[in-house]
Amino acid sequence: MPEIRLQKILSEMGIASRRKAEELILEGRVTVNGQVATLGMKADPEVDHIKVDGKLLLRPEPKVYFIMNKPRGVVTTLYDPEGRPTIKDFIKRIPYRIYPVGRLDYHSEGLLLLTNDGELAYAILHPSKKIPKTYLVKIKGIVEDKDLQRLRQGIRLEDGLTLPAKVRLVRYTKNNSWVEITIHEGRKRQVRRMFEKIGHPVIKLKRTAINGLKLGSLKPGEVRQLSSEELRLLKKEVGLIKERA
């Protein structure tokens, strides 16, 4: 990380405003690696030991991004009062405090994004962004195209009309159907409720993609870090970075 001005470091770490941080420096209350800081001094918060009134500032935790293939029968929380398995059981080796972005219910599986970047999480979950999420769903019965068409056009649930969904029949089995559906909302149990509405309850549900981020060959319970390209595309989609013309 490049060196930046001390007053900016103190401001970004919530110690004081930049103007107040300048006053702290001028008063000799800030040290860098044991030496009294001067106005205009720069430092690297990830390397240098910066103290204010003798108290060491904790180095900011780097922002990290992971995806997990959440297994069925696991709760999308870090703690469950009922004692059920949680996603925390699968991320114990990750040395950062990361949190799930959105949820997959207990009986669902698939792609779950985990990060400590609150800004990105907020952007992904905000309804205005309409981030596409794709699911592979096994439903009860042989579904007809007229029912799938209802999903494509938007279907009325108890909490209002859904946005049009992208729906594709994958295959039939003897008594059931496999369907791929992409929605742009994040209502509670939305996909399950949509299929219940057309008379085909969900038997199995797996999220396979969020925007361009795909589950791929990740096995249930496995976790991997996002590549720089995956992260760039995700941030671009939610408007956190803009491409130069």
- pLDDT score for 8: 86
Q: Any idea where the domains of the chain sit in the sequence?
A: 4-56, 62-130+220-245, 132-210
**DSSP per-residue letters across 84-146:** --BGGGG-TT--S--EESS---TT-EEEEEEES-HHHHHHHH-GGG---EEEEEEEES---HH
> Per residue of the chain (245 residues), what is the pLDDT tens digit?
578 899 888 877 778 778 888 999 999 999 999 999 999 899 988 788 999 999 998 766 788 999 999 999 999 998 899 999 999 999 999 988 888 998 899 999 999 999 988 888 888 888 888 899 999 999 999 999 999 999 999 999 999 999 999 999 999 999 999 999 999 998 889 999 999 999 999 999 999 999 889 998 999 999 999 999 999 989 988 888 765 54
Q: Which of 48, 89, 105, 117 is catalytic?
A: 105
4-56 and 132-210 share one CATH topology?
no
4-56 homologous superfamily: RNA-binding S4 domain (3.10.290.10)
- What pTM does this model have? 0.76
User: Is 105 annotated as catalytic?
Assistant: yes
Q: Supply the CATH classification number for the domain 132-210.
A: 3.30.70.1560
Architecture of domain 62-130+220-245: 2-Layer Sandwich (3.30)
